[in-house]
């Protein structure tokens, strides 16, 4: 059964003469039914948020904040590193050792997850983002929503701590991909990392 707001309103009008508790109960039940079965509130399917309409989910990038992304995991590619690396660059540069190359097979686009963790000792805020084949992945980490993985204690004093971030890509076209983690210092003071890992999960 599929009811629309006009249909419910006509049903309410037919019961206009019925006052009191019974009439109020019918209106409440009818309104609740509309909210439950309305296609606007239905699941948007793979890659969609159950609270997002199909049209909105289809038009939105998969990594858009607030849009749930679902998928299966069948492969991973990863890198570990233990050497100490530092930078004072305020522009994003590749973090040494944090690069993974993999292949998306088939003909369908795939969303990829990139999980990073590192042990930091900084004198400034350390920003991070990921790029795939040279293109910045939109969402957390891009120019609209920078991600600081370590604050440098906000006091120019170095504190050793481990932090990371999980990135979600937009659906990527099939083919060979190179995913890199890039970093930058907010104020140009030294930021450093030693033990670190980058794990890429895909279908």
Residue 35 has pLDDT above 80, yes or no: no
Instruction: Give the pLDDT band (50/70/90) at residue 176.
Output: very high
Q: Given this model, what pLDDT does residue 154 score?
A: 61
Tell me 161's DSSP state: E
pTM of this structure = 0.67
- For 42-68, the pLDDT digits (tens) are 322 333 222 223 333 343 445 667 788
- For 96-155, the pLDDT digits (tens) are 999 999 999 999 999 999 999 999 988 888 999 999 999 999 989 998 889 998 877 665
Among candidates 140, 147, 173, which has minimal Cα distance to 64? 140
Who's near 80: CB < 8 A, 6+ residues apart?
196, 197
Q: Which whole number is the average pLDDT over 182-197? A: 94
Indicate the domain borders of the chain: 5-59, 75-202
Q: Given this model, what pLDDT does residue 67 score?
A: 80
Fold assignment, 75-202: Jelly Rolls (2.60.120)
Position of tokens 């299966």? 72
Q: Given this model, what pLDDT does residue 71 score?
A: 83
Among candidates 158, 191, 196, which has minimal Cα distance to 89? 191
CA atoms within 13 A on the CB side of 47: 19
Residue 17 has pLDDT above 60, yes or no: no
Q: Given this model, what pLDDT does residue 89 score?
A: 96
Q: What is the average pLDDT value for the chain, to the nearest integer?
A: 75
Q: Which residue has the higher pLDDT, 44 or 12?
A: 12
Q: Given this model, what pLDDT does residue 152 score?
A: 72
Asked if residue 140 lies in contact with residue 147, where contact means CB atoms within 8 angstroms, the answer is yes
Residue 6 has pLDDT above 60, yes or no: no
**The pair of three-digit structure tokens given for residue 29, joined into one six-digit string:** 């039940």
Q: Given this model, what pLDDT does residue 153 score?
A: 65
CA distances from 172 to 7, 18, 97, 132, 199 (A): 43, 58, 23, 9, 17
Asked if residue 53 lies in contact with residue 40, where contact means CB atoms within 8 angstroms, the answer is yes
């Amino acid at each position: 059964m599929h009811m629309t707001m006009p249909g419910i309103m006509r049903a309410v009008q037919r019961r206009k003469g019925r006052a009191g508790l019974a009439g109020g109960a019918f209106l409440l039940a009818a309104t609740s039914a509309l909210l439950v079965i309305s296609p606007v509130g239905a699941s948007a399917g793979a890659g969609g948020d159950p609270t997002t309409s199909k049209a909105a989910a289809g038009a939105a990038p998969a990594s858009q904040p607030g849009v749930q992304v679902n998928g299966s995991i069948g492969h991973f590619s990863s890198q570990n590193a233990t050497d100490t690396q530092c930078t004072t660059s305020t522009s994003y540069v590749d973090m040494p050792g944090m690069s993974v190359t993999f292949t998306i097979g088939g003909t369908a686009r795939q969303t990829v997850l990139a999980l990073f963790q590192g042990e930091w000792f900084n004198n400034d805020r350390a920003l991070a983002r990921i790029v795939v084949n040279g293109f910045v992945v939109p969402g957390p980490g891009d120019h609209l929503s920078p991600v600081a993985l370590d604050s440098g204690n906000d006091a120019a004093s170095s504190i050793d701590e481990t932090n990371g971030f999980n990135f979600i890509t937009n659906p990527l076209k099939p083919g060979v991909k190179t995913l890199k983690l890039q970093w930058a210092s907010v104020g140009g003071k030294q930021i450093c990392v030693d033990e670190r890992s980058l794990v890429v999960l895909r279908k």
